[in-house]
Structure 1
Amino acid sequence: MPPESTLDSADLDWLTLDDGESVVWAGNPHESSMLPSVLMGLPLCLVLVGFAVIAEAYLSRENTQFVVTTDALYKKTGIFSRDVQRIDFEKVQNTSYSQGFFGTRFGYGDVDVSTAGGSGVEMRFGSVPDPKGVQELVNKRVKAGRPSDTETGESKGDVLDDILTELRAIRHAVEADANADDVGDIDSGDVDADDTEDAAGRGSAVTRRVSDDTFSDGR
């Protein structure tokens, strides 16, 4: 079952969609993700610093939004400014999710997205409710956006056959070049120095043997 969206279209006035693109899921960090900041900020409220810690955590959560559409992933952050990041599904290489101590108990966690050619995590849906469900939804959309064997008209077996055919053609071309080089060496009379020395040595040995036989017959 896909995770339930926690945002509606009125909250997504910053989002610009392409033609035919629609929102599948939208959410922001879980309310309980503020708990660590609250626990740390309350004792500091006596010196007013705690109020700033809690306020920053609240504003950060309220201004962070995550969106999954039929075409891509979106992330909006920023309290006094706005930063929008988009990753198309065709670029997604890997996804994973994790939950910390509080996340395991309150049902939220991080969903990390890596892209092909990227270095490390390119986008993180931080502290989202039901991180496993969000990851499964992203994976489903990634698979839906990739062409199937039926759409491309080629199966894995067809691709392997094409690769083997190309390898055979390369092998035949290399062997033909090697044979042509051997014939060229013979026609041009190219002989290695070592071969010449061996031939000369064998000729000298034959000459000495003939001379010895002649000398023996004369005696």
Structure 2
Amino acid sequence: MSDADLDPADLEWLSLEDDEEIVWASGPDRRTLVPAFVVGIPLSIVLIGIVIIAGEYLRVTNTHYVVTTQALYKKTGVVSRDVKRIEHGKVQDISYSQSAVGNYFGYGTVEVSTAGGSGVELSFKSVPDPRAVQGRISDLVDRGGRGTSEEEPVDDVLAEILTELRAIREAVEESDVDATPDRTGDTRSSPDEPRSSR
């Protein structure tokens, strides 16, 4: 299932923020249904095969993965609905893996770990071209980590610190200029300060 295969009705579960846009949306590759058909067709004589095929088909077609400009989403469930969301700022690590069959057919799993989380928090299973998906998510996470509104206050604080340091430097330089020489030629800004030994 590629970006173009998704009908907007497939994403009716998704509620986006005002400035949030979809960058990539997909679901498990339909070729992952092949094992269910291989097992299910011979067993369809005793009706168990039909249940296996139908269950796997419903699972695959009701699983959606979405990457937006702000977060990652995974929606699963046939009768009930489970939606998981992870913001880009919480993403710590992104990796992908492919089995021998997945490598041959060009699909694999993208796994996302978060800061402070225990292990993999979100996985996009059986997605087409997992390396490209991992790269796209990495780019968004990296871009979100630089130049965001969260970092603007840090720049303001650094500017304030620089201004204060300049003021301190000017004050120190002025105190050196204001220091008066005594009879021995030593300069002291206060009579309480000890004379430097030569």
Same fold (TM over 0.5): yes
2:146 matched residue in structure 1: 147
Are residue 94 (structure 1) and residue 102 (structure 2) matched? Answer: no
Residue aligned with 1:24, SS: strand
Offset of 1:10 from its aligned partner? Answer: 2.9
Q: In 1, Cα distance between the equivalents of 2:7 and 2:110?
A: 21
Are residue 73 (structure 1) and residue 80 (structure 2) matched? Answer: no
CA separation of 1:74 and 1:5: change in aligned 2, threshold 3 A: farther
1:9 matched residue in structure 2: 8
More displaced stretch, 145-154 vs 125-134:
145-154
2:184 matched residue in structure 1: none
Higher helix content, 1 or 2: 1
Offset of 1:21 from its aligned partner? Answer: 0.3
Offset of 1:4 from its aligned partner? Answer: 4.4
Higher Cα radius of gyration: 1
Percent identity of equivalent pairs: 51
Residue aligned with 1:122, SS: strand
Displaced runs of 4 or more, over 4 A: 148-152
Matched to 1:53, the amino acid is I
2:26 matched residue in structure 1: 27
Offset of 1:49 from its aligned partner? Answer: 0.6
1:194-213 per-residue CA deviation (whole Å, 9 max, x = no partner) reads xxxxxxxxxxxxxxxxxxxx
Matched to 1:32, the amino acid is R
2:172 matched residue in structure 1: none
1:212 matched residue in structure 2: none
| Structure 1 unaligned residues grouped into runs of 5+ | 159-219
* Contact 1:113-1:123 within 8 A present in 2 as well: yes
* Contact 1:8-1:26 within 8 A present in 2 as well: no
Offset of 1:153 from its aligned partner? Answer: 3.8
1:51 matched residue in structure 2: 50
1:118 matched residue in structure 2: 117
Q: In 2, Cα distance between the equivalents of 1:48 and 1:74?
A: 35
More displaced stretch, 40-49 vs 19-28:
40-49
Figure out how many residues of one structure are paired with residues of the other and give that number.
153
Offset of 1:106 from its aligned partner? Answer: 1.1
| Structure 2 unaligned residues grouped into runs of 5+ | 159-198
Residue aligned with 2:78, SS: coil
Higher strand content, 1 or 2: 2
Q: In 1, Cα distance between the equivalents of 2:122 and 2:112?
A: 5
2:59 matched residue in structure 1: 60
Matched to 1:34, the amino acid is L
Residue aligned with 1:11, SS: helix
Q: In 2, Cα distance between the equivalents of 1:142 and 1:72?
A: 9
Q: In 2, Cα distance between the equivalents of 1:6 and 1:125?
A: 17
Matched to 1:57, the amino acid is E
More displaced stretch, 116-125 vs 141-150:
141-150
Cα RMSD between the aligned structures? 2.0
Offset of 1:5 from its aligned partner? Answer: 4.8
1:62-84 per-residue CA deviation (whole Å, 9 max, x = no partner) reads 10000000000000000111000
1:127 matched residue in structure 2: 126
1:213 matched residue in structure 2: none
* Contact 1:6-1:28 within 8 A present in 2 as well: no
Q: In 2, Cα distance between the equivalents of 1:28 and 1:46?
A: 30
Tell me the TM-score normalised to structure 1 length. 0.65
Q: In 2, Cα distance between the equivalents of 1:21 and 1:148?
A: 17
* Contact 1:74-1:86 within 8 A present in 2 as well: yes
Offset of 1:108 from its aligned partner? Answer: 0.7
Are residue 108 (structure 1) and residue 107 (structure 2) matched? Answer: yes
More displaced stretch, 114-123 vs 37-46:
37-46
